[in-house]
């Protein structure tokens, strides 16, 4: 059974710092990995999707990497801003006919202090 | 991409009652998914809803407690039946578009 772990559970940084969020998964046979952002009491916003054959994806100040063999992904946020404050969730999708189920980590709650 | 709306956005209900949550997508999709996020926890898939067939429920979730309708390719409902305080959660609707999952804003439910 796939398990996803995110470390740290919470992180507080001053504005302008670069930071890294970590995600690890137990079954390396994944189809893809997706990073989401969740604001308090809200739904999820998709940030980046990495296919199993890819090593990284970039969008603006965000860069996500994937090391499938070691079961790890990182989300790098450059020049953090107070608006980046949110919970960041990592989710993996395992292959299989008709398999769309995502396994989520519990998230990292990020606070960027002005 | 996909734009998903949900109604209601939040509700406070009494135990023993039922609540139906609606999910509307801006494009036709084959499958729609319902997730639950309990306080302090991550998301758990409740069921997958296909148009024209019965929903497929994950382990620990049953149709009598969470009946789902899928009348067309852009709409689905999830009913939380005979509610108890343990059902207090955020319920989220989701769709898959070319391998990327998109989520609605969620319905925050509090059961007293």
Q: What is the DSSP letter of A9?
A: S
Q: How far is CA B25 from the centre of its chain?
A: 13
Q: Answer whether A34 touches B (CB < 8 Å).
A: yes
Contact in structure between A90 and A6 (CB atoms under 8 Å): yes
pLDDT band at B52 (very low <50, low <70, confident <90, very high): confident
Task: Supply the pLDDT for residue B97.
Answer: 86
Task: Supply the pLDDT for residue A99.
Answer: 64
| Average confidence score pLDDT of chain B | 93
pLDDT band at B50 (very low <50, low <70, confident <90, very high): confident
Task: Supply the pLDDT for residue B99.
Answer: 80
E-assigned strands of chain B?
4-7, 10-13, 19-25, 31-37, 43-50, 56-57, 68-72, 75-80, 89-97, 100-103, 107-111
Residues of B with CB under 8 A from a CB of A: 4, 6, 31, 33, 41-45, 48, 58, 90, 92, 96, 99-106, 108
Are A89 and B45 an interchain contact pair (Cβ–Cβ within 8 Å)? no
- Name the token pair of B4: 């998903």
Residues of A in contact with B41 (CB under 8 A): 106
- Name the token pair of B55: 């929903």
pLDDT at B3 over 90: yes
Task: Supply the pLDDT for residue A98.
Answer: 57
pLDDT band at A95 (very low <50, low <70, confident <90, very high): confident
Are B33 and A100 an interchain contact pair (Cβ–Cβ within 8 Å)? yes
Contact in structure between B47 and B62 (CB atoms under 8 Å): no
- 3-class DSSP assignment, residue A27: coil
- 3-class DSSP assignment, residue B13: strand
Please tell me the distance from the alpha carbon of residue A35 to that of residue A89, in angstroms, as a whole number: 6
pLDDT at A96 over 70: no
pLDDT at A43 over 60: yes
Please tell me the distance from the alpha carbon of residue B61 to that of residue B73, in angstroms, as a whole number: 23
Nearest of B96, B86, B107, B83 to residue B1 by alpha carbon? B96
Please tell me the distance from the alpha carbon of residue A87 to that of residue A95, in angstroms, as a whole number: 26
pLDDT at A53 over 60: yes
Phi, psi of A82 (to 5 degrees): -55, -30
pLDDT at A6 over 80: yes
Please tell me the distance from the alpha carbon of residue B42 to that of residue B93, in angstroms, as a whole number: 15
The residues near A84 (Cβ < 8 Å, ≥ 6 apart) are A77, A110, A112
Task: Supply the pLDDT for residue B53.
Answer: 82
Q: How far is A111 from chain B (nearest CA, A)?
A: 17
pLDDT at A81 over 60: yes
């Amino acid at each position: 059974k796939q398990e996803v772990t995110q470390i740290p559970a919470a992180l507080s940084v001053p504005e302008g710092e670069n930071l890294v969020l970590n995600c690890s998964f137990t079954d390396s046979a994944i189809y893809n990995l997706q990073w989401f952002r969740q604001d308090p009491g809200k739904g999820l916003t998709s940030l980046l999707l990495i296919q199993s054959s890819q090593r990284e994806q970039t969008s603006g100040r965000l860069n996500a990497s994937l090391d499938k063999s070691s079961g790890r992904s990182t989300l790098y946020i450059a020049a953090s801003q107070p608006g980046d404050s949110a919970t960041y969730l990592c989710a993996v999708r395992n292959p299989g006919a008709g398999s769309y189920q995502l396994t989520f980590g519990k998230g990292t709650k990020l606070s960027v202090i002005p | 991409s996909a734009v998903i709306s949900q109604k209601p956005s939040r509700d406070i209900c009494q135990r023993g009652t039922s609540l139906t949550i609606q999910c509307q997508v801006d494009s036709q999709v084959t499958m729609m998914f319902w997730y639950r996020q309990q306080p302090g926890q991550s998301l758990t898939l409740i069921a997958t809803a296909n148009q024209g067939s019965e929903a497929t429920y994950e382990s620990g979730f049953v149709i009598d407690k969470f009946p789902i309708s899928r009348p067309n390719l852009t709409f689905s409902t999830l009913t939380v039946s005979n509610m108890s305080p343990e059902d207090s959660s955020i319920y989220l609707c989701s769709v898959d578009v070319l391998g990327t999952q998109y989520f609605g804003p969620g319905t925050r439910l509090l059961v007293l």
